[in-house]
Amino acid sequence: MAPEAIDRVLAEWVKDARARTLALVADLDLAQLMGPRLAIVNPLLWEIGHVGWFQDHWVFGGGRDELYDSSAIPHDVRWDLPLPERAATVRYLEDTRDRVLERLERGLSDDERYFVRLSVFHEDMHCEAFTYTRQTLGYPPPELPVSAPPSGGALAGDVEVAGGTLDLGARPGAEPFVFDNEKWAHAVDVAPFAIARAAVSEGEFARFVDDCGYRRRELWSPDGWAWRAGEAAEAPLYLRR
């Protein structure tokens, strides 16, 4: 793909990720954006600012490190920072997005493209965090388009993997982007195993629950059964008919 075409694709990725971030918090007021001080989630007002900072920092070398640098600011402190108000935070996200899009219009080097990709993938991961934070705090589901779940179809069943000595990780130069924890390929011994061809659907899991799967000890590992018994779990926490 020509560099100009790559930059056009990256521009669409940047716009899509930022639109999803803003949509995931659009209906929340300031109190909800801060939320309670919990060890398992961030204050959403801080976290969306962090997304903008990460892009600003890695693409342009800027940003407010004293507010949003997650490697330097302990989790518990994030509720106590002098965070900008919602409107200013959203404006920062929009301005940073627009600066990246302007940079893409002018054309980028391969090194610059790497950091644009990094910022997009980082934002996509935080969109998952925004979603589970809303769920953890009992907020209503965001109003987003809902796609039909995959049916599985021809991907049903397991596939057998022979095992052996395989390469784990990325090879230098093979891909335009890899995460640091994928560096570098090295040989590992893998025992033979079977794995499902497709992810379990909600429908399949509902049938497992209906088939008393949470009460059949033979279907669980010892640790899994101990957890199920200790939690008195009868279904996934957020499963609703």
Q: What angle do CA 109, 110, 111 make, to 5 degrees?
A: 90
Helices (H) and strands (E) in the chain, counts: 8, 4
**pLDDT single digits (tens) 114-171:** 999 999 999 999 999 999 999 999 999 998 876 666 555 568 889 999 999 999 999 9
Q: What is the pTM of this model?
A: 0.83
Q: Which pLDDT belongs to residue 149? A: 60
pLDDT recorded at residue 150: 56
Nearest to 13 by CA among 58, 57, 55, 69: 55
**Distance, CA of 197 to CA of 152 (rounded, Å):** 9
Enter the tokens of residue 226.
């101990």
Mean pLDDT of the chain: 93
Alpha carbons within 13 angstroms on the beta-carbon side of residue 45 total: 23
Q: Which residues pair with 160 in a beta bridge?
A: 194
pLDDT tens column, 183-229: 999 999 999 999 999 988 888 899 999 999 999 999 999 999 999 99
Count of CA atoms in the C-beta half-sphere (13 A) of 180:
3
List the domain boundaries for the chain.
3-136, 155-196, 202-231
Helix (H, G, I), strand (E, B) or coil at 171: coil
Q: What is the pLDDT of residue 132?
A: 95
179 token code pair: 């995460």
The dotted CATH code for 3-136 is 1.20.120
- The structure tokens listed for 195 are 């794995």
Interatomic CA distance for residues 114 and 63, integer angstroms: 18
Tally of CB atoms within 10 A around 168 = 11
pLDDT for residue 128: 97
pLDDT digits (tens, 9 = 90+) for 176-193: 899 999 999 999 999 999
pLDDT at 153: 57
For 5-29, how does the pLDDT look when each residue is reduced to its tens digit (9 = 90+)?
A: 999 999 999 999 999 999 999 999 9
User: What's the Rg (C-alpha) of the chain?
Assistant: 22
Dump pLDDT digits (tens) for 77-129.
999 999 999 999 999 999 999 999 999 999 999 899 999 999 999 999 999 99
